[in-house]
Structure 1
Amino acid sequence: MTSTAAPTAPSAPPPAALMIANVRLADGQRVDVSIADGRIAAIGADLPREPGMSIEDGADALLLPGFVEGHTHLDKTHWGLRWYRNEVGPKLTDRIDNERRWRAHSGHDAGAQSLALARAFLQMGTTRLRTHVDIDTDAGLRHLDGVLATRDALRDVLDLQIVAFPQSGLLGRTGTADLLEHALAAGADVLGALDPALIDGDPVKSLDLTFAIAQRHQKPIDIHLHEPGEIGAFTLGLLLDRVAALGMQGQVVVSHAFCLGALPERERDALLARLAQLRVALLTTAPPSVPVPPLVACREHGVVLFGGNDGIRDTWTPYGSPDMLERAMLIAMRYGLRRDDDLALAFDCVSGTAANACGFEAYGLHVGARADLVLVDADTLAQAIVARPVRKLVMSHGRIVARDGALVGAWIDAGAAPGSTSAGASFGHAADTR
């Protein structure tokens, strides 16, 4: 497959033995972290220093696991480009049509742009990421090609899951289903879908075809469900019927699920019970202006609810940031979380719960977990979420990739095309200069 993205960064093994000394866990415990072959080998107070071990002094910083972005659109972003003037109409179809026209006429480069934003995520502490990529009958697999190249360029330090996403729906444009099959065969990890009733107009046919494609390729599903109220509940019920009938428990994510925030409690709770039974997870971006799945009720019913940004600086929205501490703060604000222990629930939406929901393995701060670590100057986790301090250190796969808010070493220019300006040279100022 051809690509506009860059040659890959040099692949090198992580340091054989490294210790992050003098750091604090979220519970206040002071510990050292011993790392070997990219994994946490030991974590505890006053660990022994082995001969030849490199020591990194954490200087009493707060230790966090690498962050997880559960839902974004790397291929769409304008990150680092000139400001896009948004004059699009109010309907979902207005945004879809406007974006297709703009991308076709502007020559938007999904490879270069996804690489710029992925590196910004890495710099700010995200080491695992799920991105939806448009599979379009006009562009074919061009956007996918670019994001596949970004995944390859950052393969040593960023786990990047790709969702093959039919942004215009599955049924409305002839050839979309075939393109989705080609995308899954080419390397996409997950099958996407969009509003089977309001976009496709035939939720039974749309869902039947979606599940058939997923089963042929043995891939999980992540569906955008913006449909409100009773319409969304009807579609969600149809989806859950298929999960049960086809044995796809634990293999489906419903993104947005606005309907669950607007239903009467009895009807909502019946759906939550089915979601929990079938292990169907929910993704929220915690938008301020539409209903959202209820966090407390989801947890009470055993439904997994995790978080993500959605689009960042694209034709759909001027908002968004590759800082998952900011997203945790926005989740906390949307759900009225103020106590320190409640803020920890918001962080879980962009860390452990998100990793589990997306199927990212060996995650966390425990022996055997992959050494994906973030150090920040904060007294507590709640302060880190609210103040969002500069990342003192970011480690991925046992490699130090960023220090004091900037990428370091081989990752300064990882994936940058020969002769081009580094996509990461001004990450710290990108939001202020566009």
Structure 2
Amino acid sequence: MNPATPGSPLRTPGLVDAHIHPDKSAWGGPWMSRRPATTLVDLIDNDRATQFAYTRSVEERAFALLSNALTNGTLAMRAHVDVSSELGTANVEGVRAAAERLPGLDVQIVAFPQFGLLTNPGTLEVMAAALDSGADLVGGIDPGGLEGDLHGHLDAVFGLADRAGRDIDIHLHDGGEDGLAQIREIARRTVVGGRQGRVTIGHAFALCDGSLPSLDETLDIVADAGIWIATCALGPDPVPDIDRFEQHGVHLVAGSDGVRDSWSPFGTGSMVDRAHLLAYRTGAITDAELERAFRIASTAGGEMLGIDDIANWAGPESGSGLEFEAENIAQLVTDRPAPTRVLRDGRDVRPAG
């Protein structure tokens, strides 16, 4: 990613949001006040109440957010979309309909059991149905901390993925040595099943705790299994030691997580903003460190999602990519301008208006 020549825009690869929840978002609607929450269970309960209270459809809200993300340079994303016995596959269908209205944006949908898999009977069957209704991957959530059955939860997730021939993307908020043990079990199953490179763990807060005795061992196991780690650098959440991840060969991508939903009033859907936040939260100072944050939010995500024109960006002459008014990537990450052009196959694909 070379600096811009004088008088010319800076050209970069497209951005990738590797972890976002568009079905939860209130984007484009009136201001929504949030309820207080001190635990993950509180946040999920608030989310459940909010989703059933929305008057705007999933498609309308998701389209508003996805349009803003595309305008700000996101050319691909992995969307975690809720499925449950109560919601059925409606959220998946709504997000898929929104995505189809934006042909410049690649959207992979994860069937995500936010309200529980084993603890919410019927959800596994709905997840299987979601894979026929627009979902691409099988999701999971905190097998130990929320589900209380590490092996039962992973049996269900990996079993469904095997039967459907799909990849896996699991939320894992649990920290401490227990969180690391869950990550090692996911890695073990990944290797046994020949799934190297096809499993992602979102958040993985335990991997961000440098005080844990088994951290380095676990990072090596994650790297050997080819597992991708998605970080969102949110608020008080732990962030990875990027140098340490790189030393162990762990692949890192970035995402927005929730954007203006019941979980948080923050977020814009701009991965330039997210690269800035990741750089800020990890103490980036040098141009190289700022450029690394941009790579994590762009080409690394393209590699994880298998999006060739992002992962293997052909350079400034490519028909796909972004143009910015900035001297270089370091300034771009610091100043956070919106792109002046968002190109796919030589066309500016920013939505009208």
1:283-310 per-residue CA deviation (whole Å, 9 max, x = no partner) reads 1011341323321111111110111110
Partner SS state of residue 282, structure 1: strand
Find the counterpart in structure 2 of residue 75 from structure 1: 23
Partner SS state of residue 308, structure 2: coil
Residues 89 and 133 of structure 2 are in contact (CA less than 8 Å); yes or no, is this contact kept in structure 1?
Answer: no
CA RMSD of aligned residues (A): 1.8
In the alignment, structure 1 residue 27 sits paired with structure 2 residue 10: no
CA distance in 2, matches of 1:153, 1:367: 28
Query: Percent sequence identity over matched residues?
Result: 34
After TM superposition, the structure 1 stretch with the greater mean CA deviation from structure 2, 372-381 or 393-402, is 393-402
CA distance in 1, matches of 2:216, 2:328: 34
Measured after TM superposition, the shift of residue 264 of structure 1 is 3.4
Partner SS state of residue 33, structure 2: coil
Find the counterpart in structure 2 of residue 101 from structure 1: 49
| Structure 2 counterpart of 1:195, from 142, 160, 163 | 142
Find the counterpart in structure 2 of residue 334 from structure 1: 281
Find the counterpart in structure 2 of residue 90 from structure 1: 38
Measured after TM superposition, the shift of residue 108 of structure 1 is 4.3
CA distance in 2, matches of 1:94, 1:245: 35
1:116-135 equivalent positions in 2, closer than 5 A = 116-135=64-83
Measured after TM superposition, the shift of residue 366 of structure 1 is 1.1
1:114-263 equivalent positions in 2, closer than 5 A = 114-154=62-102, 156-263=103-210
Measured after TM superposition, the shift of residue 373 of structure 1 is 1.6
Instruction: Output the amino acid matched with 1:234.
Output: A
Measured after TM superposition, the shift of residue 266 of structure 1 is 4.7
Residues 373 and 394 of structure 1 are in contact (CA less than 8 Å); yes or no, is this contact kept in structure 2?
Answer: yes
Residues 168 and 199 of structure 1 are in contact (CA less than 8 Å); yes or no, is this contact kept in structure 2?
Answer: no
1:4-23 equivalent positions in 2, closer than 5 A = none
Find the counterpart in structure 1 of residue 314 from structure 2: 366
Instruction: Output the amino acid matched with 2:13.
Output: P
Measured after TM superposition, the shift of residue 136 of structure 1 is 1.8
Partner SS state of residue 349, structure 2: strand
Measured after TM superposition, the shift of residue 28 of structure 1 is 3.1
Find the counterpart in structure 1 of residue 326 from structure 2: 378
Higher strand share: 1
Partner SS state of residue 9, structure 2: strand
1:371-424 per-residue CA deviation (whole Å, 9 max, x = no partner) reads 32211111111111111123221112321123xxxxxxxx31xxxxxxxxxxxx
Partner SS state of residue 84, structure 2: coil
Measured after TM superposition, the shift of residue 102 of structure 1 is 2.2
Residues 256 and 283 of structure 1 are in contact (CA less than 8 Å); yes or no, is this contact kept in structure 2?
Answer: yes
Residues 362 and 368 of structure 1 are in contact (CA less than 8 Å); yes or no, is this contact kept in structure 2?
Answer: no
State TM-score, norm by structure 2: 0.95
1:5-31 per-residue CA deviation (whole Å, 9 max, x = no partner) reads xxxxxxxxxxxxxxxxxxxxx42375x
State TM-score, norm by structure 1: 0.78
CA distance in 1, matches of 2:212, 2:327: 39
Higher helix share: 2
CA distance in 2, matches of 1:401, 1:106: 29
1:331-352 per-residue CA deviation (whole Å, 9 max, x = no partner) reads 0011111101110010011111
Find the counterpart in structure 2 of residue 23 from structure 1: none
Find the counterpart in structure 2 of residue 60 from structure 1: 8
CA distance in 2, matches of 1:272, 1:322: 29
Measured after TM superposition, the shift of residue 201 of structure 1 is 0.7
Instruction: Output the amino acid matched with 2:274.
Output: R
Instruction: Output the amino acid matched with 1:261.
Output: C
Find the counterpart in structure 2 of residue 54 from structure 1: none
- Structure 1 pair 246–149 and aligned structure 2 pair: CA distance change class (3 A): same
CA distance in 2, matches of 1:369, 1:158: 20
CA distance in 1, matches of 2:89, 2:39: 26
CA distance in 2, matches of 1:320, 1:368: 29
Residues 110 and 137 of structure 2 are in contact (CA less than 8 Å); yes or no, is this contact kept in structure 1?
Answer: yes
1:44-55 equivalent positions in 2, closer than 5 A = none
Measured after TM superposition, the shift of residue 170 of structure 1 is 1.1
CA distance in 2, matches of 1:77, 1:287: 16
| Structure 2 counterpart of 1:112, from 60, 82, 96 | 60
Find the counterpart in structure 2 of residue 22 from structure 1: none
Residues 35 and 46 of structure 2 are in contact (CA less than 8 Å); yes or no, is this contact kept in structure 1?
Answer: no
Measured after TM superposition, the shift of residue 184 of structure 1 is 1.0
Measured after TM superposition, the shift of residue 218 of structure 1 is 0.7
CA distance in 1, matches of 2:235, 2:28: 26
In the alignment, structure 1 residue 282 sits paired with structure 2 residue 232: no
Structure 2 gaps, min length 5 = none
- Structure 1 pair 177–370 and aligned structure 2 pair: CA distance change class (3 A): farther
Partner SS state of residue 227, structure 1: coil
CA distance in 2, matches of 1:288, 1:303: 23
Residues 4 and 11 of structure 2 are in contact (CA less than 8 Å); yes or no, is this contact kept in structure 1?
Answer: no
CA distance in 2, matches of 1:391, 1:367: 16
Structure 1 gaps, min length 5 = 1-25, 31-57, 403-410, 413-424, 426-434
Partner SS state of residue 75, structure 1: helix
Instruction: Output the amino acid matched with 1:332.
Output: A
CA distance in 2, matches of 1:315, 1:286: 18
Instruction: Output the amino acid matched with 1:107.
Output: T
Instruction: Output the amino acid matched with 1:28.
Output: P
